[in-house]
């Protein structure tokens, strides 16, 4: 497996959910890292799958794209279909029900990621034995944190169930609105546990903050690089995870564009195809593919917004931004702190919504002028999610274009892997330490790879080492 | 075990939009239609940690999933809650034994766990519905599991505690010897 005398080191995680995905590290003759690439299999065949289907089925169908964030696809598709039915100006009840669903999704997703996926790295260290550096290890040594993660995840999932109808094939959001409101009985269940969730969220922010600040010297260079950042923001510049206009800033905080109507996204965002990857590489048109790539997700959102409109998350944001003197934070591992600030924001939003009587309203759907094109953007847990459809006069979908959050972070994840490889690869052996660090760097982006199939019998993580003539030198799996 | 009185949870998981990956939810839907007393049915895209809380509320849990390479038409094995190192590259999913381990460790449960692995064949495209082979395997799995659920008894089923070897049972319904 050689290319012009270069050696390729392949880290191939073929896990139960991902199905496909690998890291390949290309060495030069002096065994220095020449290039590192993260290969992820993106969903395939969705456009064909959905063509010809009635547009009103789409918000349900798209949930099957991803077992991790079905709600994000559900809502982005519903927002796109709002335009098809001329119902983008939702009733207060419809918009607030959707927001509650979305904040529930953000809350459970961020909690799960932090407590059960990231906390082993933070609590045990990057070099800890994988036998303990996992959720079971956390349960054994820090059971109270593990319980918090379970119960916070459950709380968010129950909000989704109450607003979307069910966990699989949720039907809550429909073109032009929502199909149910929140009963007082349902509301009271969530109010009962709210204070506990808020308390635990504050604690999570503190853990992430303390860890980042205490290890700043070590974390600052880890898989880090300057980048542009992209997210939706409200018209007044506030963070808005459900709706808003597009803003892009550079690594120093200068605006590249601002308040771009999501329906104009194709004028500002393009995607590059590279022959070695199934996944495309989005970039800002005005900067081109070389300089126009950007990050999305919690780090980008906290960097890009002017403020957060909930008091405790805003105080946390100010503290976060102070670390980099008010400039955008480009430290990859700062994603975790930013993610917990959003967790706190989400539970604050949930609290406010639960006290809003509009959730018990009966005016659920609006329609207006019929259109043949719809675009819906949302800030999914992992970053900006784009859904774009065309529909014919027979109500059938004729075109679908999706840019998922993980695709937006494709180039940054590749850069993070390459940075880690350059800093930590020694010789031509994939050490446990290197493998751990590659995982930690990718995990910071919380990539969503579950578009692949999902069944028993998939292989575990596999690592292969080839010499410059393609001979397998070493193979490790765990 | 308390025959006739055990609380049983069946979790069918997988993505119905990925052909045979929907075997688990399909089994869950079929069992739910039976409306069996004492049997709670859940369906999800994948297993995640919060399932540990509901597992802890039951005496027996059956995790039903599609199997890419396993025995035809299905296999059932007892699992124990001893953790194995699992690499969590980026996924938010968990394995059945992890969920069982979390139920035991975090909530003090003594739930017995089983994995019902139903062999599937088509996984690599979007699409609804099961392949013919998977549909037949689903029927066989349902015919096997239904009396156990109806009687709420799993006595003698599966491998002994601690034995990770797959214990295939019910040869009378087509399982290979």
Q: What CATH number corresponds to the domain at position A387?
A: 1.10.645.10
Query: Which residues does chain B have within 8 Å of residue A45's beta carbon, measured at their own beta carbons?
Result: 125-127
Q: How far apart are CA A37 and CA A14, in angstroms?
A: 16
At B83 the three-state DSSP class reads: coil
> Minimum mean pLDDT among A67-76, A133-142, A253-262, B78-87: which range?
B78-87
Distance, in Å, from the CA atom of A184 to the CA atom of A355, rounded to the nearest integer, reads: 10
Residues A200 and A224 in one domain: yes
* Domain span including residue B114: 8-163
Q: Do A130 and B87 touch (CB under 8 A)?
A: yes
Give the mean pLDDT of B33-43. 96
B101 touches chain A (CB under 8 A): yes
What pTM was estimated for this model as a whole? 0.89
Largest CA distance in chain A: 70
| Domain presence at residue A172 | no
Q: Mark whether A355 and A437 lie in a shared domain.
A: no
Q: What is the CATH number of the domain that holds B37?
A: 3.40.50.1450
By CA distance, what is A12's nearest residue in B? B89
Whether A169 has its CB under 8 Å from any CB of chain B: the answer is yes
Touching B: A residues 44-63, CB under 8 Å: 44-46, 48-49, 61, 63
Structural domain includes residue B46: yes
Nearest chain A Cα distance for residue B77, angstroms: 13
Evaluate whether residue B175 is within a structural domain: no
Both A337 and A452 in a single domain? no
Please check the confidence at residue B157 and state whether its pLDDT lies above 90. Answer: no
Residues A405 and A383: beta-carbon distance below 8 Å: yes
Test A455 with B66 for CB contact under 8 angstroms.
yes
Interchain contact B125–A (C-beta under 8 A): yes
Residues A27 and A54 both lie in one domain: no
> Which of A49, A153, A169 is nearest residue B49 as measured by Cβ atoms?
A153
User: Is residue B172, in this structure, part of any structural domain at all?
Assistant: no
Confidence of residue A7 (pLDDT cuts 50, 70, 90): low
Asked if A369 and A426 sit in the same domain, the reply is: no
pLDDT in tens, A162-178: 999 877 778 899 999 99
User: What is the reported pLDDT for B98?
Assistant: 86
pLDDT digits (tens, 9 = 90+) for A328-383: 999 999 999 999 999 999 999 999 999 999 999 999 999 999 999 999 999 999 99
Sign of torsion over alpha carbons B84, B86, B92, B96: negative
Angle at which helix A184-214 crosses helix A311-322, to 10 degrees, equals 10
Same domain, yes or no, for A147 and A280? yes
- A464 within a domain of the structure (yes/no): yes
Which residues 92-121 of A have a C-beta within 8 angstroms of B? 108-109, 112-113, 116-117, 120
Are A237 and A150 within one domain?
yes
- The shortest C-alpha distance from A254 to chain B (Å) reads 32
Instruction: Kindly determine whether residue A135 and residue B21, on different chains, have CB atoms separated by under 8 Å.
Output: no
CA distances from B109 to B44, B62, B153, B158 (A): 22, 15, 18, 20
User: Is the pLDDT reported for residue A217 higher than 80?
Assistant: yes
Average pLDDT over residues B78-90: 62
Residue B168 located in a structural domain: no
Mean pLDDT over all residues of chain A?
A: 87
Measured in angstroms, the CA of A75 and the nearest CA of chain B are apart by 17
Instruction: Kindly state whether residues A316 and A445 are assigned to the same domain.
Output: no
Q: Residue A175: inside a domain, yes or no? A: no
- Tell me if A67 and B69 make a contact (CB, 8 A cut-off): no
Alpha helices in A305-459 (DSSP H): 311-322, 335-354, 405-408, 410-424, 432-444
Q: Is A18 in contact with B125 (Cβ distance < 8 A)?
A: no
Which residues have CB under 8 Å from A175's CB, separation 6+? A55, A56, A59, A78, A81, A82, A84, A85, A87, A367
**Predicted pLDDT of residue B170:** 37
Is B92 at the interface with chain A, CB within 8 A? Answer: yes
Is residue A176 in a domain? no
Residue in A closest to B43 by C-alpha: A168
Is B102 at the interface with chain A, CB within 8 A? Answer: yes
Query: Is it the case that residue A219 has pLDDT exceeding 70?
Result: yes
Q: Give me the domain span that covers residue A111.
A: 46-167+187-407
Number of folded domains that form chain A: 2
CA distances from B86 to A109, B95, B98 (A): 20, 9, 9
**A24 and A65 belong to one structural domain:** no
Task: Measure Cα distances from B50 to A111, A149, A193, A264, B8 in Å.
Answer: 11, 8, 16, 39, 17
Cα of A201 to nearest chain B Cα, Å: 17
Q: Is the pLDDT of residue A457 over 50?
A: no
Q: For A453, which residue in chain B has the nearest alpha carbon? A: B123
Is position A355 within any domain? Answer: yes
B68 inside 8 A of chain A by CB:
yes
DSSP H or E stretch at residue B10: strand B8-13
Please give the order of strands across the beta sheet that includes A228-233. A255-260, A245-249, A228-233, A294-295
Q: Are residues A235 and A313 in the same domain?
A: yes
| pLDDT, tens only, A426-449 | 777 888 888 888 888 888 998 876
Query: Best of B15, B16, B119, B131 to disrupt the A interface by mutation (most A CBs within 10 Å)?
Result: B15
B91 within 8 A of A420, measured Cβ to Cβ:
no
Question: For residue A63, what are the CA distances in angstroms to A47, A68, A451?
Answer: 14, 9, 10
User: Do residue A146 and residue A15 come from a single domain?
Assistant: no
Which residues in chain B are closer than 8 Å to A48, comparing Cβ atoms?
A: 126
Residues within 8 A of A (CB atoms), B 6-45 only: 13-18, 20-21, 23, 25, 43-45
Do the chains contact at B85 and A134, CB–CB below 8 Å?
A: yes
Is A18 within 8 Å of chain B by CB?
yes
pLDDT of residue B158: 58
Q: A460 in contact with B at a CB cutoff of 8 Å?
A: yes
Within a domain: residue A339? yes
**Which tokens go with A193?**
């546990």
In chain B, the largest separation of any two C-alpha atoms, in whole Å, equals: 43
CB-nearest to A150 from B44, B49, B85 is: B49
Nearest residue to A133 via CA among A118, A113, A112, A114: A118
pLDDT at position A317 is: 98
Q: Cβ–Cβ of B85/A15 closer than 8 Å?
A: no
Q: Is residue B170 part of a domain?
A: no
DSSP conformation class of B18: B
Kindly state whether residue B108 falls inside one of the protein's structural domains: yes
Nearest residue in B to A67, CA atom: B45
Task: Confirm whether B64 is domain-assigned.
Answer: yes
- Judgement on whether residues A331 and A462 belong to the same structural domain of the protein: no
What is the count of structural domains for chain B?
1
pLDDT tens figures, B113-143: 999 999 999 887 777 899 999 999 999 999 9
A353, A379, A407 — which closes off a domain?
A407
Could you tell me if residue A458 is inside a domain?
yes
B68·A449 Cβ contact <8 A: no
Per-residue pLDDT reduced to its tens digit, A35-61: 888 876 555 567 777 889 999 999 998
Of the residues A363, A391, A407, the one at which a domain ends = A407
* CB pair distance less than 8 Å for A454 and B43: no
Q: Which residues of B touch A67 (CB under 8 A)?
A: 15, 44-46, 93
Tell me if B65 and A456 make a contact (CB, 8 A cut-off).
yes
Is the pLDDT assigned to residue A17 strictly greater than 50?
no
> In terms of CA atoms, which chain A residue is nearest residue B69?
A457
Separation in Å, CA of A165 to nearest CA in chain B: 13
Residue of B nearest to A461 (CA): B87
Where is the domain boundary, A385, A407, A429? A407
Q: Which residues in chain B are contacts of A454 at CB distance < 8 A?
A: 13-15, 18, 21, 45-46, 66, 93
């Amino acid at each position: 497996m050689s290319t012009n005398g270069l050696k390729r080191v392949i880290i191939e995680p073929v896990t139960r959910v991902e199905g496909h995905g690998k890291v390949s590290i290309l060495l030069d003759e002096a065994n220095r890292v020449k290039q590192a690439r993260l290969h992820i299999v993106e969903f395939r065949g969705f456009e064909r799958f959905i063509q010809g289907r009635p547009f009103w089925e789409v918000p349900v169908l798209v949930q099957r794209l991803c077992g991790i964030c079905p709600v994000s696809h559900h809502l982005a598709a519903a927002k796109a279909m709002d335009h098809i039915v001329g119902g983008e100006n939702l009733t207060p009840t419809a918009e607030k029900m959707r927001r509650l669903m979305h904040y529930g999704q953000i809350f459970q997703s961020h909690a799960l990621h932090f407590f059960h996926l990231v906390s082993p790295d933070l609590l045990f260290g990057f070099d800890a034995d994988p036998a303990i550096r996992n959720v079971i290890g956390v349960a054994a040594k820090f059971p109270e944190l593990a319980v918090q993660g379970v119960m916070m995840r459950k709380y968010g999932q129950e909000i989704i169930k109450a607003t979307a109808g069910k966990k699989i094939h949720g039907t809550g959001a429909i073109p032009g609105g929502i199909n149910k409101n929140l009963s007082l009985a349902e509301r009271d269940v969530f109010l009962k546990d709210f204070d506990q969730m808020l308390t635990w969220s504050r604690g999570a922010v503190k853990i992430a903050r303390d860890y980042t600040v205490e290890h700043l010297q070590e974390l600052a260079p880890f898989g880090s690089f300057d980048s542009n950042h992209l997210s939706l923001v409200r018209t007044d510049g506030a963070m808005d995870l459900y709706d808003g206009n597009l803003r892009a800033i550079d690594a120093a905080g200068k605006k590249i564009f601002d308040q771009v109507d999501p329906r104009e996204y194709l004028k500002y965002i393009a995607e590059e195809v590279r022959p070695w990857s199934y996944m495309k590489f989005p970039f800002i048109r005005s900067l081109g593919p070389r300089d126009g790539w950007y990050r999305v997700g919690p780090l980008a959102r906290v960097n890009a917004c002017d403020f957060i409109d909930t008091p405790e998350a805003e105080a946390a944001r100010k503290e976060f931004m102070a670390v980099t003197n008010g400039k955008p934070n480009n430290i990859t591992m700062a994603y975790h702190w930013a993610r917990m600030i959003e967790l706190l924001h989400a539970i604050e939003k949930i609290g406010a919504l639960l006290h809003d009587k509009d959730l018990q309203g009966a005016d659920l759907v609006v329609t207006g002028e019929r259109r043949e094109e719809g675009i819906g953007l949302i800030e999914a847990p992992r970053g900006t999610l784009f859904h774009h459809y065309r529909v014919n006069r027979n109500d059938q979908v004729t075109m679908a274009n999706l840019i998922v959050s993980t695709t937006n972070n494709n180039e940054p994840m590749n850069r993070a892997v390459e940075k880690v490889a350059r800093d930590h690869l020694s010789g031509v052996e994939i050490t446990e330490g290197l493998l751990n660090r590659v995982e930690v760097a990718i995990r910071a982006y919380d990539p969503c790879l579950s578009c692949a199939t999902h069944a028993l019998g998939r292989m575990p993580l596999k690592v292969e080492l080839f010499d410059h003539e393609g001979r397998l030198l070493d193979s490790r799996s765990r | 075990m308390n025959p006739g009185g055990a609380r049983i949870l069946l979790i069918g998981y997988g993505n119905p939009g990925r052909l045979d990956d929907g075997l688990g939810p399909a089994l869950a839907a079929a069992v739910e239609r039976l409306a069996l007393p004492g049997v709670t049915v859940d369906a999800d895209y994948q297993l995640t940690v919060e399932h540990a809380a509901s597992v802890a509320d039951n005496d027996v849990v059956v995790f039903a999933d599609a199997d890419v390479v396993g025995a035809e038409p299905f296999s059932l094995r007892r699992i124990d809650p001893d953790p194995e190192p699992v690499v969590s590259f980026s996924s938010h999913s968990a394995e059945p034994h992890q969920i069982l381990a979390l139920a035991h460790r975090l909530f003090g449960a003594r739930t017995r766990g089983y994995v019902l692995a139903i062999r599937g064949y088509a996984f690599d495209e979007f699409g609804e519905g099961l392949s013919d082979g998977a549909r037949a395997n689903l029927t066989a799995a349902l015919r096997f599991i239904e009396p156990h659920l109806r009687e709420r008894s799993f006595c003698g089923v599966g491998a002994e505690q601690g034995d990770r070897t797959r214990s295939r049972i019910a040869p009378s319904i087509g399982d290979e010897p």
